[in-house]
Structure formats: structure tokens, C-alpha cells
């Protein structure tokens, strides 16, 4: 250990200067990031964007599942299976309406109520 310190001792100031130059170079190259909008505006934009994606995906899936349910109802030769297919079709569209209704409320209706529950 003493030999290592003896070899490193005379070179320590040079290593220190090199490390400080590296730290300053990195600090000078860092690009500052200033927020253009506040946190709530960005959060609202994210909520609307996510809602639009979920609404699109849920609509496509509801359409595909509805097609399967209708084909199943039309092709079936059993009244019980036909009734089950129509029940599934109702469930699909009710679930679609609930998912998109909650998303629409969170994305578009809730921001209209911001600031109304404050005392003046």
C-alpha cells in the first residue's frame, strides 16, 4: 500500500486537475431544460393523449368483437347460442361505452370544473 501511495503521490495533483477539467467540461456541455408549461398543463395534455389512444384501441377491439358476436349469432343453429352471442354483443358495447365515457370525463369534462371549488 505504501508503494502505491508513493507512486501515486507525485502524480496526484495532475490527476486532480484532470478530473476537475473533466467535471467542468461535462458541466459546460449539459443543456439546461426549461419547462415551457406547468406540470398541470402537461399532465392534462398527457391524459388527453392517452384517452385518445385508448378510445381508438377500444373502438377497434369493440368493432372486431362485435363482428365475431354477430357472425356467431348468424351462423349458429342453436337458439341458446344465438341468445348468448347477442348478450355478448350487448356486453361489448356497454363496456365500450363505460370505458370511453370515463376517459372522456377525465380528459374533457373534469378540466372544466377546475377552480370552481375554491373559496374567495
Please report, for the chain, the start and end positions of each structural domain, with discontinuous segments joined by +: 39-113
Cell 354483443 sits on residue: 89
Grid coordinates representing 49 are: 393523449
Give this prediction's pTM.
0.55
67-95: string of b/e by CB count within 10 Å (b at 16+)?
A: eebeebbeeeeeeeeeeebeebbeebeee
C-alpha cell recorded at residue 59: 373502438
Task: Show pLDDT as tens, one digit a residue, over the chain (120 residues).
Answer: 677 667 767 777 788 888 889 999 888 888 776 767 787 788 878 888 888 888 889 999 999 999 999 998 999 888 998 999 999 999 999 999 998 888 888 777 777 777 666 655
Amino acid at each position: 500500500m505504501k508503494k502505491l501511495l508513493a507512486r501515486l503521490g507525485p502524480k496526484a495533483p495532475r490527476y486532480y486537475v484532470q478530473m476537475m477539467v473533466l467535471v467542468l467540461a461535462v458541466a459546460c456541455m449539459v443543456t439546461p431544460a426549461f419547462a415551457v408549461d406547468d406540470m398541470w398543463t402537461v399532465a392534462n395534455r398527457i391524459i388527453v393523449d392517452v384517452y385518445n389512444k385508448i378510445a381508438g384501441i377500444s373502438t377497434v377491439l369493440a368493432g372486431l368483437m362485435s363482428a365475431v358476436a354477430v357472425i356467431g349469432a348468424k351462423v349458429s343453429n342453436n337458439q341458446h347460442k344465438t341468445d348468448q352471442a347477442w348478450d355478448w354483443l350487448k356486453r361489448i358495447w356497454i363496456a365500450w361505452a363505460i370505458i370511453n365515457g370515463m376517459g372522456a370525463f377525465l380528459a374533457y369534462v373534469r378540466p372544466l370544473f377546475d377552480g370552481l371549488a375554491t373559496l374567495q
